[in-house]
Amino acid sequence: MQMTSQIDAGGNDPIFLMFHGYGNDESEMMRILDAVYAPTRADAAPAAIAAVPSYISFRATYARPYMGGNYWYPDGCGVDERQRECAAVGDAVASLLDASAFAHRRKILIGFSQGGYLSYRLVKVHPTLFDAAILLSPSFMGEEQAALDSPTRFFLAYGAQDRTIPLPDQQTAHQVLERAGHLTYREYSGMAHAICDEEIADIRDFLRAI
C-alpha cells in the first residue's frame, strides 16, 4: 500500500484519510479534495474549510494487471474476503495514526466506491478512531445484518442512475448507517457511478458543520 501526503506538521487542522475506487489510484481522491477546498464564488467559508487541507491519500493494495489502476479487494470476491482485506488495511492505518503528531487532530475518512466500503469497515473495526466518514457510492453487499456502534458522523451519497452498485446494496448502506445515527444522506438525479458538482458542494457543507 503506497500513499501520498500533504501534512502541516505544526497544525491542528483535520487530517483526511482517502481511499480511491476500483481501477484508480490515490490521485482520484486528491482531485475530489481539491474540488471541495477550491474557493467558492461567495468565498465566505469558515477557516475549517478555507485552508489547504492536510491529507494522506492511499493507493490500493493490489495492482490491476494489464489494465492499470489498483484495487482494495478483488472484484466479485466474497464478503469474508472483502472484510479480511479491509481489516488488514485498517490495522495499518490505525497503526500509522497512533503517532503523536495525529493525537489531537480530527480524523476524516473519504472513500469512493470500494474506498467508501473500506472507509466504513475502518469505522466498524475502530469505532472511536474517526470523527467523520464521507462514503461516496459504496457497496454494502453482505452488511445487511450489520450493527454499527460508533459516534462517527457519516456522509453517504449515490447517483440516482448508479447501476454499478445494485440498488439493494445502496439501500443496505443507508439502513445500516441510519440505524447508527449521525447520518447525512444525499442522492443526485441524473448521476451514475460518479461525482457531481452538487455533491462536492454538499461535502463542503458537511465539513463546515462538523
DSSP sequence for 40-72? PSS----HHHHSPPEEEEEEPSEEPTTT--EES
| CATH of residue 6 | 3.40.50.1820
Phi, psi of 45 (to 5 degrees): -70, 140
Specify the DSSP class assigned to residue 155.
E
Residues 167-196: pLDDT tens digits? Answer: 999 999 999 999 999 999 999 999 999 999
**Strands of 64-118, DSSP E:** 70-71, 107-112
User: What is the extent of the structural domain holding 146?
Assistant: 2-209
pLDDT of residue 124: 97
Q: How many domains does the chain have?
A: 1
This prediction has a pTM of: 0.93
Over residues 28-48, the mean pLDDT reads: 76
